[in-house]
Structure 1
Amino acid sequence: MRIDLYHRFLIVGFIGMLMAFSASIALTIFLKDINAVYHLSIYGLALIFIIIIVRNYKKERNGIKEISDLATDLEVKDEALEYNSSNQWTRNFYTDLLANRKKIQQATEWINAIAKGEQLEIEQDQSNHLAGAIKNLQSELIKFRTKEEKRTWQAEGLAKFAELLRTYNDNMRDFAFHIISETIKYVGGSQGAIFLVKKEDEQEYLDMAGCYAYERRRQAKMRIEKGEGLVGQCLQEKDLIYITNVPEQYVKITSGLGQSLPRHILVLPLINNEIMVGAIEIASFKLLEDYQIEFLKDLAKNIAASISIIQVNESTQHLLEDSQKMANELQANEEEMRQNMEEMEATQEEMARNQVELDSVFNAINNTLLKAEFSTEGQILNLNKKFIDFLEWDNVDIQSKNHQNICTDPKQAEKIWSKILSGENLIIEYPTYNNKMEKIWLEASYSPVVDVNGKTSKILLLGEDITQKVANEEEQKRLSLVADNTDNSVIITDENGLIEYVNTGFEKMTGYVLAEIKGKKPGEFLQGPETNQEIKRKISQLLKEEKPIYEEILNYNKAGNTYWVSLAINPVRDEEGKLKNYIAVQADITQTKKSALDAKYKLEAISRSNAVIEFDTNGIILEANDNYLTIIGYSREELIGQSHEMLVSNELKKEKKYQQLWKDLSEGQFISGEFDRVTKSGKNVILKGVFNPIFDINGKAIKIVQFVTDITQEKLLEKENKRHQIDLLNHMEAINKTIGSLEFNGEGKIINANEIYLSITGFKLEDIQGKSYFDLLPEQDRFKPQYQLMWESLQNGKFFSGEFKQVDKQGHEVWLSGTINPIYNDENGLRKVLMLAQFTTQSKQKLNELSGSVSAMKGVIPILELNIDFSLKNANPLFFETSGYSRMTLKNISFENHFKLDKSITAQTILSELRNGKRIETSLQFKTLGGNWISSKVSLAGVQNLDLELDKIIILFTGLMENQIKIKNVN
């Protein structure tokens, strides 16, 4: 590059300055005595050159900086950038900077245009790399925007259809139309349809569920076989089909613009869990892009899932309806079988639990029971202290006493002794007398003790003082006698108004039994929509205030019938004045309240439960209720004023019987029966009911009212019912081969017995035929009132399940577990009574032995039950009495805070030992409700479930027996 004059001057000045300094240094070295003026001259000249160089440098630098500052500010106009310089380099710099500024301005304009979404045509310039980069940026942004728009379109579409799928999931037809119509609109198609996969004779086909074309709903009826057309091919291949060259006659759309032919067809399979449930067919005038097809694929999965759910719901609904119909027919037998199985399983589980519990606790409480030992002649061998205290035999020679000194009734004592000596175990309650001749009651469990030779060596009695219990039962019987022999309703609730007891008068009045309503509030089921709301609010307020209530109120019984009662509710308080119970007494005053409303309710009930239509005497329709319109399919406007003939077939119109019908009705005859009718859609229905002529005051028929019910479905089910009846008979035959059965007539006389019953009891049919149920009972049970009540209840329609005691031919007691069921004839009259039961004599005997032993043991020692996580589960009355806790408060305390084990024993040690089948003897302290700590020797035993896993922990407070009186005083 050629150096201009300005820069030459700078270079000459710089060289001259160097030469001046060099000359000064040389003169100083070689001419040491040179005059100082020479040096000053040289330095002056150098200074002049330096000033010239610095001045020109600053001038050029300021000029360049000014240009640079203006050039980088794009808001400054080009005219403000004019700059003249004699320096060629500066002028070149200015030219280059101005050119770059124009490129930046142009790039800025392009970028702003691109940001606004404008499409630019940018010419490719090899020297302008910035233009090329912006052109590439525009291309990439267009691609990105396109992809983003497609993704947004897909996401918004899926969200929209997710809401539609949730909205229209009740009815398949509406679901199909709304989904296909919205799909066609969203993808810009012209028409489409949804098909559902169905089966007929194991062959799959497609049935059109919804169709949409040219913004209108189309008739949705079409069946496509597998492999037929594109849709049938989709069913066969279960894959997407997309063609863009549609045959001329495949599909046409007719509109105001004429006939047009879509050129693109897309068929999508609807697959859910690898099962094809349907297909979607979409016709379009324009080509569907890949992102639209991908969207439709995703949408198809969601639609398939929704169709599956709807189909499952519809199928479930049909199954529930079928199940309900079957359940109505099989309910009696299924209930009997279920109860039999439950009773058997409960008995077996109870036996297993009692056996495990007995094995765990027997050794620890063996010496803590009310116990007596007798010789086989009845002589007393030994009495424990508890028994002596019970009889108050102080300073009495026990060896001189015998069994009759305890069981004072000679006949009863002789009978007990004969059974025990025959090897039986016996549990019995009887009165005796203490040393003061006071009557006391004893619950005694007798067990023979055999020696190594299997002979009875002595008799063991384990007993419990039940004097107070018997006294309470007598009191309860007297109170129950009063409550059960009044027609008034008696209800006892807890302090929260929850039912604890109702008498038989309540059950007769309402139809509810205690088991159905226990734990509920009376108002929840006795009061209904016609009950006076103001009275209900008044009663609620008085209950909150714990005040007595005297009101009259309308109630509903179990059958839904209303009745009026005079109601008296009184709060019951304990000794401390705290609310304990409510007692409500209700008297039926229905007849004095109901007469004015009776006719109205009857008419409304008939209209609600029947289809009703009115005619004049010529058969012209005057009125029809909604039930009738629903059955026949016509609207009220279509029927009123039309002849009855529009509701019957052409064949029936010609019959003389039909023509005679209206003649008889016009003459005032009452006609009932079953009538064939034709609905609006042409479907035949069968109506059962009556034609009732309505007369004027002169006795002339002025109109006809028909009350009917639709029995079409019942007729269709009659054949099915006959088949089910055969199945039921087969079931009964199978039951007869596995379970003992007895049949009685309505008076309780035996009319039949199966082979199982006869073979086990030893009877022949002629031995018991004609005898009553009471002849099969043990002699001492034949006159007990509960058996008479049982037969009265059976005659009233109630069934019984449980255990039944009878005697066999030899007079031995046998036990059966099963049900006694009343069987009715078609007129709802009692035809016979059927007992189905299994013999459980041996199981019952063993269970009685175990239950008696466990009950006796639990009555003499405090026992606490824990879960395996050491949470408190339950306790016997003695523990509650000792600790002061109740059953409710016990579950709210923690073992860790209220119980202290011996330091050498930990919870893990206990669980480990008990799981290995061991028992632990140790000491334990526990905190009573009053805050006192009590120490006792304890025995810890584990109880296993039927799977031999540790189920609970039992703590036996063996050390408390000696200090029982002392502990009571502490608490």
Structure 2
Amino acid sequence: MNFFQNISIKSGFNIISTTVIILTIFIITFFIVTVNKINRYNEYYRQTDRLKIYNLNLKQYELQFLLNYDNDIDFFISEKNKYIDKFEKTSEAFSNLDQTLIDNPVSKESSLKNNILKIETIREAYTETFFDLAHKIFVRGNISSGIIGDLTESRQKIIKFDMSPGTKAVISEMILLTDNYMISKDEKNYTAFLKQYNKIAQHTANDSTETGKTPLSSFEKVLQAYKTNFTALVKINKLIGLKPDEGLTGKLKIQSRALEPEIEKLSEKLSEFKQSAQNRAIYSVIIFFVLIGLLFLILFKRFSDSVVKPLNTIKNYIKPLSLGIFPSEKLNIPGNNEISSISDYTNNLISGLERTTEFAQQIGKGNYDIEYKPLSNDDALGNALLEMKENIIISAKEEEKRKREDEIRTWTNEGLTKFNDILRQTQGNIEKMSSRVISELVKFINANQGGMFVFNENEEDRYLELTAAYAYGKEKKKKKIIYPGEGLVGMVAAEKKTVYMTEIPETYITITSGLGEAVPGSLLIVPMITEDEIIGVIELASFNEMEKHEINFVEILSETVASSLSITRINQKTAVLLEQSQKQAELMKIQEEEMRQNFEELRQAQEDSAQKAAQMASILAAIDTSSLVTEIDLNGRIISVNQSLTDLLKIQEKDITGKTLKEFINAENDEEFNTFWQKLINGQSVRRNEHIKINNNDFWLSTVYAPIIDDSGKILYILSIGSDLSESKKLEQELKEQESKLRKNLEEIEKAHQEAERKQHILENTNEMLKANEKTLQSAVENAMKQRKELAKRIDEIAEKEAETKSWLEGINHTNIVAEFDLNGKIISVNNIFEQITGYSEKELKSKSHDILVNQKEARSENYKKRWEKLRSGIHVSGTFKFLSKKKEPVYIQGTYTAIKDHKGNTKKIYLVGFDTTDLIKRSEELKARETELYFQIEDMKLLQEQSLKQEEELTLKAIETAESEAVSKSRAESINKTNIVAEFDTDGNVLFINEIFTELLGYSKKDIIGKNHKIFITPDFAQSQEYKDAWKELINGKHINKTFIFLTKNKEKIFVRGTYSPIKNAHGKTIKIILTGFDTTELIKRTEELKARETELKFKLEELKELEEKLKNKK
């Protein structure tokens, strides 16, 4: 017999599972031990890799130190350097890692200890050599420390001695040899130095005899120190190494190279050992897995035989039972496990099914008194049969209840049909409808009396009015008014909820009958609601209590009645409105044509104005990039300055705004300043050269002051446009300094000449030549000064041509809403109109985020985020924008968010310019709120009229704003045209306009240039170049170009213009032409080049004079 037949299946599973678990634990233990061992090898291998990293770091720090120590002043003071510190720490880490590897058991297993000891020995020698080299370099020092510092100090002391020319020449030769050695490290210089040193005694003796000023012993002592220091420098350089392969440098190089192959050899040896260990571990694991698999298969086969065969026997026995056939014999399976128990339970089940079958047959015959006992309390089938018997008895009672519900449903449907007919018949007359409905409803639900209350149409004084009352078969004519919340009816109207009462106060209502008066037994008050709007209230009273289905019926009917009453009211209103709309339609047809014509005229005017504004904005942006702009009010206080001026002066705009012009330009002469200011107030433009001193920095500016005038001739403010002359002034000062140096040199040369005349008559001719050169040099210096003055005058003229204005901004600020934001949406400033509309002051809004002005839902929306992303990328956004005022009321602004860019094309900040459309939007929303689906025709006509009026108002406002802006812009444009070079080109480069300043500069007449291509102003080679083509494409794509341009005149001479090419866009953002604004810098550039050439010439002459002086000294 199979062993598994005498034990339970669970025990059999436990035996097999326990055996497998024990073997698996053994394998896992073996596997973990093996893996840990391999991990130790891998960790050891990774640590050897760190040796390579440390080695590379040591080489890197060594190289960095040798390359950079010359510039490290602290090293030559304290002998400390960050690369030496890093080298030391890395070397220490290297040593610690070596010791860790030596102590690791893997080193003993793999015989790697000797390799690591060898690497550590090389490292120690390498580290020692590096620190020795660093110390020698420290001892050698630099120009202010160490041996080199002592050498430099000795040389300075020698130079200070008063010596004869011969001695001085020898000393100069020695110093030159020292400098040559410092540069080339060639010992031949040192040998030559010693020869010169031996000769110095004779020269010093002569020097002492002639001058009688310097004690011989002091000079020799300093000279001896100079020689000692030079000798020490030569020796220490030999120790350090004059060449990369010599001295400590060569030794360091050899030791550094020796580390890498030893580390590589260690890695290769360890890799071989690790691979061998991994292979042994893999073979062991495979063998163990095979043995365990065989054992598991044998156990599983024996267990399967003890389970599968008995289960097949049970399956064959139960199969006929599944078809409803009871077996003739009982099931018999030997053994003492779960399967033999299943056999016994199956036999009991079949016996129970036979008894159940007999019971079901008796119930089917109608024998409900038969007794039946289930197999157990949990016998599902037996209990279900008993429950079925009870349900058959209950079903008869349920049938009777269903018939009652059908009767109620039929009663309700008939009632709704009846009242729908009444409502249809009385449609259009509220009183008749109310009377019929309430009278029929009282009868239909067997009530005693009822009333209908309907809300009046007066929104300001809204109350319920009794439109119908009925009692005991008679209509009652009563007038009654109830306000919402007043009494039970008013409360129902206010709360919109049904009230049903059976306990009614005696004072509330009495019902009169033939038998006398009595308080009703029940009261029902139902609100009439349609689309969540209450139309009225139905009140019913009865001696009897009302049933639930009657209350439900009244509630359903109340909704239908409310809808009919609402439609009746709408129809009555519609009849009146249709009559009005017919009259309005005729009037609107007449007005529509007039408004369409006005609209077309205004739209054309708007497009013309927008185009002009776009052109002017591009011109202003170009000039703003190239000039220094300041705005001053009529009291002489600075209103604003542009970015170019603050960048030049290196200050913030807030540091200068609010100051008086007199303080800013350091005006000391009150009378002169008052005269200058009075000219401006009288409308005259004034040109000045100004010297400004800010934060101990000097700036020279050439500035044009011009009053900005509106269309009425009133001066709005003063505009200052300037250019920087600081570089020219500095160059002038440098030339003066050089002139002074030249004069000193000339004086020295003159003294040398005088001394030479006394000793040698032959040098007289040479002296005359030097005097002639001196006169030439003086003449050259005087010419340079004269040219400097002419250059300053020319720069003043250039500054006048750089004038620009921002008057159009003031015009916009007085008539439009203006706000300024940074790129994160933080509010920088707002104007007065913005403050009035939103209710915030500028102080409250400043530095706050833009989302304070909108609701939170919009601030979190994707459209809001995308709008700011567009603005940051430089894209303008236009439309009607909704804001929230301080009182959280909606404010609508129609306008444009504009990205303001700097001269590099980077977005700097955001401007919002627009006008208030809140009243228009609110009126539109109020009108829309009153419209319904029945007013579509009227709505279309009204909407057309409103839109036309709105557009007309907007265009009128914009026309007024544009006229004001154009008047101010015209003043500015005239100022620009009179002082700057201005030319306009179409997108193909053809000349559309050119001002007189530019034509005079080029030598052409306007007639010669208009219609010609831009290429006539430049060289043919540049006109065909890719750079020129790319620049023109950038202009058409909307990019500004600002720099100094070279043009050819009619005579093919080069002129230089500093200016900006700016694309002019139409209202749709398309580039329609290109404008050039700038000023002539030809004279400035030529003068600068001449001065540089003159400076070079003077330097050469000075060198010639020095050579001549040397020759004179040698002849002595």
Q: TM-score, structure 1 length as denominator?
A: 0.23
More helix per residue: 2
Q: TM-score, normalised by structure 2?
A: 0.20
